[in-house]
A and B are shown apart, each in its own frame.
Chain A
Amino acid sequence: MLKDITLGQFFPGDTIVHRLDPRTKLLAVLLYIVALFQAKGWVGYGLVLLVTALCMAMSHISPKNIFKGMKPMLFIIVLTALLNIFYTAGTPILPGWIVTWEGIDRAVKMILRIVLLITGTFLLTYTTSPMALTDGMEVLLGPMKKIGVPVHEMTLMMSMALRFIPTLIEETDKIMSAQKARGADFESGNLIQRAKALLPILVPLFVSSFRRADELAVAMESRCYHGGSGRTRMKQLRMERRDWIALALSVLFLAAVIVLRRLGL
């Protein structure tokens, strides 16, 4: 059951979107999010929708995978839509009804905005390996080192956490099997009973994680790890022509959305 966790999932591929530099993709997603929140009229939303669909097609990521990842957010999407429908003042769709045309308009836009926001960020994580992503972040956030932000340490922790997810899942499975073999019951009972049954799993998992962390630290030091200064990289990030084109297009896209907003479209 734990194998289903898809945190930081990445679908390897060889499309133009996969090959872009992670920095380009991170910046493009940033610009995309700003553009999304600038869109106001239907034409603006239409443009964002069109661009999203285009990117999705180029990256060969099927909409099915996007929607599968969106399931946990369904509750929030529905709730926002309902609130917007019922709490927006304006002309009722039928005399005496609480539902207004303005409410429906806002609800649909809200749903569109959340769905597009998730889709955009999914396109980033689905097409970029976690390592490339953290590398890109480290470089992009590099200037913040000057004001004392431990950028290298933060990104190292992130990639390390991603590295240990499968190891810890495996360990959890092992502990659960051991507990089940001794008659533990994780499936029945109410919520509180089930939460209580998880305690004998969490305690050994915690203890072993600390032991792992300790061993890992010694192993890293044995391999000459001494902080981020003076480190080099095997895979150096290089901005190609396609990266500059992609960035230029992203800026153009944002500009277009802002112009449409000014025009009231």
Chain B
Amino acid sequence: MNAIIRFENVHHTYSEEAHESLSGIDLSIEEGTFVAVLGHNGSGKSTLAKHMNAILTPTQGKVFVSDLDTSLEENILEIRRTVGMVFQNPDNQIVANVVEDDVAFAPENLGIPSDEIRRRVDEALRQVGMSEFKLHAPHLLSGGQKQRIAIAGVVAMEPRVIVLDEPTAMLDPQGRREVISTITRLCREKGLTVVLITHHMEECVGADRLIVMSNGRIVADGTPVEVFSQVELMDREGLSVPETTRLLYELGLPTDVLDVESCAEEIARAFR
């Protein structure tokens, strides 16, 4: 598989701060995968996300999006139509006062013909399950619904990657489930590459790959099973692991499964 996003020894320092937010990130993200990035506040995970569509550029090192250098001004538009970004607060990324007009914003910016925009908007709203709300006013929707509109707004751009920077941080459990199942479906059914930045361990379980960040470095990288089974490391980082993993770990059993069924089997086998 080819890497759609590539970080090469990336360092980043915010001008007003002394310490580095990213210190030497090497990372490639393959097309079509669901990557979760887990870490605490200040671990550099948001900074990492903002490098993926050239909102921030490295102070040292390089980031490539489908082989385009993000530090070059002339690449920015192409990079941003390749990598769509969804932010934390849904209210601050909705630009229009009718749902369908908001979803049309990105394609309109790209100068796409009207009937093609119409098709994309209807398709994007269908994919996030919000078609029936297309003529509603966004401020009357729930947080989860607003966030799905924001996702539709990015999907209508037809990007190859969607980066979501803590999309569930301001949502209730119901809205959180809606958003996570929507992006999982987009990845599995449409083959979109998804990068989910989060500090909720539960949201990473369904990912193909889990990256743990701490102090501007990648401290763990692998499948969720591989990463969560490093229980000591996760404890040291103050991150929780799934209850099944915790249980197997406390029992001194191999921690290479995540779901409840396999966990039960593992325990049963130990008793035999």
Contacts and interface: CB of A to CB of B under 8 A. Distances in A.
Nearest to A229: B111
Interface stretch (B63-71, B91-99, B224-232): B91-99
B53 A222 contact: yes
A171 to B, nearest CB: 9
A235 B109 contact: no
A223 B151 CA distance: 11
Interface in A187-243: 212, 215-216, 218-226, 230-236
Contacts of A170: 139
B55 A218 contact: yes
A215 B108 contact: no
Interface size range of chain A in the complex: 20 to 34
Interface stretch (B12-20, B23-31, B79-87): B79-87
B118 A234 contact: yes
Interface size range of chain B in the complex: 35 or more
Given A131-B97, A231-B109, A222 B114 contact: no
Max chain B Cβ within 10 angstroms of own Cβ: one of A163, A215, A216, A226: A163
Nearest to A12: B135
B117 A222 contact: no
Nearest to B137: A166
B106 interface: yes
Interface in A91-149: 129-131
Contact of A234 (B55, B77, B117, B139): B117
B192 to A, nearest CB: 16
A44 B97 CA distance: 40
B154 interface: yes
A223 B55 contact: no
Interface in B152-167: 153-154, 157
Given A131-B96, A216-B93, A221-B55, A235 B114 contact: yes
Contacts of A159: 96-97
A249 interface: no
Contacts of A79: none
A168 B158 CA distance: 31
Interface string B34-57: 000000000000000000010100
Contacts of A162: 97
Nearest to A227: B109
Given A131-B101, A222-B53, A216 B95 contact: yes
Nearest to A211: B92
Contacts of B105: 220, 223, 225
Interface of A, secondary structure class, is helix
B71 to A, nearest CB: 16
Contacts of B157: 223-224
Max chain B Cβ within 10 angstroms of own Cβ: one of A166, A222, A230: A222
Contact of B92 (A215, A221, A233, A235): A215
B108 A232 contact: yes
B128 to A, nearest CB: 15
Contact of B84 (A222, A225, A234, A236): A222
B165 to A, nearest CB: 10
B121 interface: yes
Nearest to A219: B93
B43 to A, nearest CB: 20
Contacts of B267: none
B49 to A, nearest CB: 11
B107 interface: yes
Interface string A159-177: 1101100110010000000
B94 to A, nearest CB: 7
Contacts of B10: none
B104 A234 contact: yes
Contact of A224 (B81, B94, B95): B81
Given A131-B98, A170-B139, A224 B89 contact: no
B113 interface: yes
A198 B154 CA distance: 39
B108 A234 contact: yes
Contacts of B92: 212, 215-216, 219
Contacts of B113: 232
B110 interface: yes
21 contacts: A131-B101, A162-B97, A163-B94, A166-B139, A215-B87, A215-B89, A215-B92, A215-B93, A216-B92, A216-B95, A221-B55, A224-B109, A225-B109, A230-B111, A231-B109, A232-B111, A233-B108, A233-B114, A234-B101, A234-B108, A236-B114
Interface of A: 129-131, 159-160, 162-163, 166-167, 170, 212, 215-216, 218-226, 230-236
Interface of B: 53, 55, 77, 80-81, 84-85, 87, 89, 91-98, 100-101, 104-114, 117-118, 121, 137, 139, 153-154, 157
Q: Which 4 A-B pairs have the closest CB atoms?
A: A219-B93, A223-B106, A234-B104, A215-B92
